[in-house]
Amino acid sequence: MHCVVEILSVGNELLLGNTVNTNATWIAAQATAAGAEVRRITTVEDNLGEISAAVKESLRREPNFLIITGGIGPTFDDMTLKGVAKSLGRRMKLDPNAVVMIRNHYARRFEGKVMKLTKPRLKMARIPERSMPLFNPVGTAPGVSLSLNRADIFCLPGVPSEAKAIFQQSILPKLRARAGGRPYLEKWVKIEGIMESSLAPIIDHVMSRVPGVYIKSHPRGVENGRSRIELHFSIFAATRSRGSQALRRAVYEMNEALRHRATKAGHIS
């Protein structure tokens, strides 16, 4: 079953270049390995209008999953959930289950001490109506899940350890189920002694001979006067055995095309 994913990252620090967006990279890798196809990764600032517009734009493309990270904490600029609510025309509500999650987190963290749920702390329990809080086993702010007719929306904290924990516990099983166990396979090979511009038509040739296999070239510079390129072969296959067979054939076709090249031949290792 086909499963399309979009990722929306929220945070000024990402746009300023102060923080590397490791959440999006990690989530994309996990989703791909689960058999889903990540179509787009978008980054916006901590701005209510920008978040709302980005959510609306994504939903118009009708992904199966929209995964949002960042901006669901206790501070004034944490406005992701409010932006999601605005995009859907929903109100924000204080969710009692989210309140319990937050209270229990403080109790565990401070060995049973009762912490006053101040306004900033309760802010993390205010979520869009008709949504559900997701348990955060690492930090304070719960994640949030919303189910629409054509898409499931998940909102995760920006702290990587928290985003990963909630993703693995609450999202990954649903991704795998929606993708139907479609295996994703990949293989890296190294080529030397051929320029990427000369390799381009060979890549086109091999991809035409082995449908379904995608080949991406990654130049790695020049060493001892010889260009170095890594090729990434990948495929979403009906079965793992068919995918493995297709990748082996693609690598073979690439090697044969290079061997028969009139000028300098590359060598796959």
The domains found in the chain, sorted by start residue, are 4-179 (3.40.980.10), 184-259 (3.30.70.380)
Residue 265 predicted with pLDDT over 80: no
What predicted TM-score, i.e. pTM, was given to this entire model?
A: 0.88
pLDDT in the model for residue 1: 61
Tell me the two tokens of residue 217: 């070239």
Distance CA 104, CA 99 (A): 9
Best CA proximity match to 146, nearest among 181, 174, 122: 174
**Confidence category of residue 149, pLDDT binned at 50, 70, 90:** confident
Tell me how far apart the alpha carbons of residues 252 and 269 are, in angstroms, rounded to a whole number.
Answer: 12
Q: Report percent pLDDT > 70 for the chain.
A: 96
Average pLDDT, the chain: 93
Using DSSP's 3-state secondary structure scheme, residue 124 falls into: coil
Q: Is residue 268 pLDDT above 80, yes or no?
A: no
Q: What is the pLDDT of residues 167-198, one digit of tens each?
A: 999 999 999 999 988 899 999 999 998 999 99
Which residues neighbour 110 within 8 Å (Cβ) at sequence distance 6 or greater?
Answer: none
What percent of the chain has pLDDT above 90?
86
Tally the residues of the chain.
Answer: 269
Residue type, 225: G
pLDDT band at 269 (very low <50, low <70, confident <90, very high): very low
Average pLDDT over residues 203-218: 96
Does the structure show a pLDDT above 70 at 262? no
pLDDT at 34 over 50: yes
**Is residue 114 exposed (0-12), middle (13-18) or buried (19+ Cβ within 10 Å)?**
exposed
Residue 181 confidence (pLDDT)? 81
Distance, CA of 224 to CA of 235 (rounded, Å): 33
For residue 73, pLDDT beyond 70: yes
At residue 152, the pLDDT reads 97
Which is nearest to 32 in space by CA: 170, 161, 189, 183? 183
* Tokens describing residue 93: 């509500």
Cα–Cα distance for residue pair 261/76, rounded to 1 Å = 62
> What average pLDDT does the segment 139-148 reach?
96
Contact yes or no for 15/43 (Cβ under 8 A): yes
pLDDT (tens digit per residue) in 241-261: 999 999 999 999 999 999 877
| pLDDT (0 to 100) of residue 231 | 97
